[in-house]
């Protein structure tokens, strides 16, 4: 069992696509460590939320690790033998839900190179693609790599025309007036200082209260891991943080609590 946080080179041995009890679309990848094939660890990526929200950040991270995947069909991982593709796993150690003194490994990210089977029912491909296919294709198209410059048309060689009589020399033109020098570039407008947080009513959720809860639930996370967890929670609302109201921040807090409970339950049920 992995007992230390860090980066590990690994390859995927199995993949399954399924819908969770909350109707989230999940892609689970089972990995073996390249240096220690007897060590196994699972990675779970939410592809789409039950409300149809596509988790573009996690999908793009997988596309960087597996360049052959276009991001539109998660069943691609179930069709190919990926043992020959090494990736880097970013693993964090997190406390268990029932026994906080015991730490369990969790794969936070699958990056380009530098478990136990769960009791789940694989999803029906036709039904899943009918439900999420259009949104996955739209998300992939919005993040497609820019195309290269257009190629020049082939040059057609024509026969040289007969020389025309030389025209009479034209009168010399007056030199054009020099253009005024362009104005110096303006310095970028500095960002506005953050507004002072007002103390909200006890029953009203705010960005600050959601962030405080995030920090309380992730005492053993690295700063980067905590930020990634925070962004995933905010993405679950389908809104930008500036556009979110008290109901949205309450939903973020519910998401944070639910994900922490779910992740710890999954880790405690893994064999050791």
3-class secondary structure per residue, 56-121:
HHHHHHHHHHCCCCCCCCCCHHHHCCCCCCEEEEEEEEEECCCCCCCEEEEEEEEECCCCCCCCCC
Which of 103, 125, 142 delimits the end of a domain?
142
The residue among 112, 142, 172 that closes a domain is 142
User: Rounded to an integer, what distance in angstroms lies between the CA atom of residue 50 and that of residue 11?
Assistant: 29
Highest mean pLDDT pick, 12-21, 31-40, 154-163? 12-21
Mean pLDDT of all residues in 187-195: 49
**Residue 157 or 234, more confident:** 234
Question: Is residue 177 a part of any domain in this protein?
Answer: no
Q: Are residues 10 and 137 in the same domain?
A: yes
The range of the structural domain enclosing residue 227 comes to 207-260
Average pLDDT in the 151-162 region? 51
Q: Of 38-47, 110-119, 199-208, which has the strongest mean pLDDT?
A: 38-47
> Has residue 92 been placed in a domain?
yes
Distance between CA atoms of 156 and 151, rounded to whole angstroms? 15
Most confident of 95-99, 168-172, 184-188: 95-99
Any domain includes 72: yes
Task: Write the pLDDT tens digit of every residue in 167-180.
Answer: 655 555 655 555 54
State the pLDDT at residue 115: 36
Domain count, the chain: 2
Q: Measuring CA to CA, how many Å separate 75 from each of 60, 126, 135, 140, 184? A: 16, 11, 15, 15, 53
User: Does 89 share its domain with 217?
Assistant: no
Q: Which burial class, exposed, middle or buried, applies to 36 when counting CB atoms under 10 A from its CB (0-12, 13-18, 19+)? A: exposed
Neighbours of 197 (CB within 10 A): 10
What does the pLDDT look like over 38-92, one tens digit per residue?
A: 899 999 999 999 999 999 999 999 999 999 999 999 999 999 999 999 999 999 9
Task: Label residue 132 by pLDDT band (50, 70, 90).
Answer: very high
Last residue of one domain, picked from the residues 109, 142, 175: 142
Instruction: Report pTM.
Output: 0.47
């Amino acid at each position: 069992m992995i007992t230390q946080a860090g980066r590990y080179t690994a390859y995927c041995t199995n993949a399954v696509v399924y819908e969770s009890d909350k109707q989230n679309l999940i892609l689970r990848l089972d990995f073996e460590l390249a240096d220690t094939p007897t060590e196994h660890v699972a990675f779970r990526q939410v592809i789409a939320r039950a409300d149809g929200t596509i988790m573009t950040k996690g999908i793009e991270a997988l596309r960087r690790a597996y360049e052959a995947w276009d991001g539109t069909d998660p069943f691609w991982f179930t069709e190919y033998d990926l043992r020959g593709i090494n990736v880097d796993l970013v693993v964090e150690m997190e406390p268990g839900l029932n026994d906080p003194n015991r730490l369990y490994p969790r794969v936070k990210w699958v990056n380009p190179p530098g478990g136990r089977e769960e009791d789940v029912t694989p999803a029906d491909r036709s039904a899943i693609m009918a439900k999420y296919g259009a949104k996955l294709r739209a998300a992939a198209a919005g993040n497609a790599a820019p195309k290269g410059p257009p190629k020049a048309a082939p040059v057609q060689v024509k026969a040289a025309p007969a020389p025309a009589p030389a025209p009479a020399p034209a009168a010399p033109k007056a030199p054009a007036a020099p253009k005024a020098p362009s104005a110096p570039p303006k310095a970028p407008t500095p960002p506005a200082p953050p507004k002072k947080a007002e103390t909200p009513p006890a029953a009203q959720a705010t960005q600050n209260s959601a962030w405080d809860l995030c920090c309380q639930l992730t005492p053993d996370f690295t700063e980067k891991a905590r930020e990634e967890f925070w962004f995933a929670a905010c993405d679950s609302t389908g809104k930008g943080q500036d556009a979110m109201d008290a109901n949205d921040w309450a939903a973020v807090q519910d998401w944070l609590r639910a994900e922490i409970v779910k992740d710890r339950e999954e880790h405690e049920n893994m064999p050791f």
